[in-house]
Homo-oligomer: A and B are copies of this chain.
Amino acid sequence: MFTQRIYNFSAGPSMLPLPVLERAAAEMTNYAGSGMSVMEMSHRSKAFKAVFDETKALMREILSVPDTHEILFMQGGATGQFAAVAMNLMGVTGRADYAVTGNFSSLAAKEARKYGEVHIVCDTSDKNHTYIPREADLTLSPDAAYLHYCANNTIYGTEWDYVPAAPCPVVADMSSNILSKPVDVAAHGVIYAGVQKNMAPAGMAAVIVEKSLLGREMPITPTILSYKTMVEKDSMYNTPPTYNIYMLGLVLQWVKEMGGLAGMEELRELRAGMLYDFLDNSSLFTGCAERGSRSKMNVTFRTASPELDAKFVKEAASQGLVSLGGHRIVGGMRASIYNAMPVEGVRKLVAFMEKFELENK
């Protein structure tokens, strides 16, 4: 039982900024004099339309989304987008390129195979996904309808530090690093993100799609996954996840107040730097990802034994540093340090690791 807020290192859903939660609580039964909760508003009402428009405008501003691209809020999370990307874009040539650098990019490729031919341009499973390939090593197809990559690999703790160039539209799954640093939107045909890590409560995908790519969908595409329909109806073909959109708006306001993406990038460098510096000097803990490929959102590490890993995770939790266990596929530890993780949380984690190291030499 914790009477205070704790530091939650979960990979997603994950921490939200405290001021955002406090404002949501304060507005829960009467939003801005509407006499009702945002949850209760008709999505066609003026009051909700204002929330929606402001959220979309803030997202365009903060992520510097050019006019060539449209912003969509869709249901189904990133997993829904695995199918949506293929159904909306693959029909042109019937094949697509996929960079496999972890579990979710592998699942994305698997889903795409339902709708066409998939060519794997790299597969980092040869070294248990501990690295990101060099651009020169990607074996791109001449006739792919698009190239798909996952910008940050939550489970393995690796992150692309470049946008791969390709002769076709580039599609990025940015679920676990969107809003954490500036991004070249124009270099992408589609960017999508399940919102539950760095944006809002689970249950939505934010999608940025280049308008020139619309209208290529397969006839079997379910309407809720059709980019064209969603653009035409401004994400309101059916009732959108209204409260998630409102919460995203509050998070975006917080990001803006904190200095936008430049401010977020400074913080991510600071948080990740503290952890990696400690790992590089530790005789007990080892980082899992290769140095040049390390994620600044998900820091994976381990001790010499699964037993000691388990002890660490358990003792940390008792100190209010929770959800530090690695994903069940890989074991070990993982500290997910998204935008909303206070620097103080990482400081406490490093202090605890120091203490644990001394006690378990």
Is there a chain B Cβ closer than 8 Å to A284's Cβ? Answer: no
Q: Which residues of B contact A14 (CB under 8 A)?
A: 40, 42
- What residue in chain B is nearest A6 (Cβ atoms)? B35
Most chain B beta-carbon contacts within 10 A, residue among A5, A26, A42, A45: A42
* Identical copies of this chain, number: 2
A29 vs B4: C-alpha distance in the bound complex, in angstroms?
9
Interface contact B243-A201, CB-CB below 8 Å: yes
Complex CA distance for A75 and B239, rounded to whole angstroms: 12
Q: Does A323 contact B (CB under 8 A)?
A: yes
Q: Is the CB of A322 within 8 A of B35?
A: yes
Residue among A76, A77, A79, A83 with max Cβ neighbours from chain B (10 Å): A76
CB proximity to B under 8 Å, residues A207-226: 219-225
Taking CB atoms, residues of chain B closer than 8 Å to A11 are 42
In this complex, the member of A12, A16, A34, A196 whose beta carbon has the largest number of chain B beta carbons within 10 angstroms is: A196
* Inter-subunit contact A41/B13 (CB<8 Å): yes
- Interchain CB contact under 8 A, B40 and A16: yes
Q: A65-108 CB contact bits vs B (8 Å, 1 = yes)?
A: 00000000001111110111001000000000000000000000
A50 contacts partner chain B, Cβ-Cβ < 8 Å = no
Q: A35: which B residues are within 8 A, CB to CB?
A: 2, 4-6, 8, 320, 322
Residues in A4-55 with C-beta less than 8 Å from chain B:
4-6, 8, 10-16, 18, 21-22, 24-26, 28-30, 33-37, 39-43, 45
Residue in B1, B115, B240 whose beta carbon sits within 8 Å of that of A220 in the complex: B115
Say whether A5 contacts B36, CB under 8 Å: yes
Q: What chain B residues lie within 8 Å of A223 (beta carbons)?
A: 79, 82-83, 111
A295 at the interface (CB under 8 A from B): no
Q: Are A30 and B2 in contact (CB under 8 A)?
A: yes
Q: Which residues of B contact A177 (CB under 8 A)?
A: none
Determine if A13 and B40 form an interchain contact, defined as CB atoms under 8 angstroms apart. Answer: yes
Closest-CB distance, A244 to chain B (whole angstroms) = 6
Q: A5-B30, A25-B26, A25-B28 are in contact. List 16 more A-B contacts (CB 8 A).
A: A3-B30, A6-B34, A6-B36, A12-B42, A13-B39, A21-B28, A24-B28, A75-B77, A76-B222, A79-B223, A79-B224, A83-B222, A201-B242, A202-B239, A202-B243, A241-B244
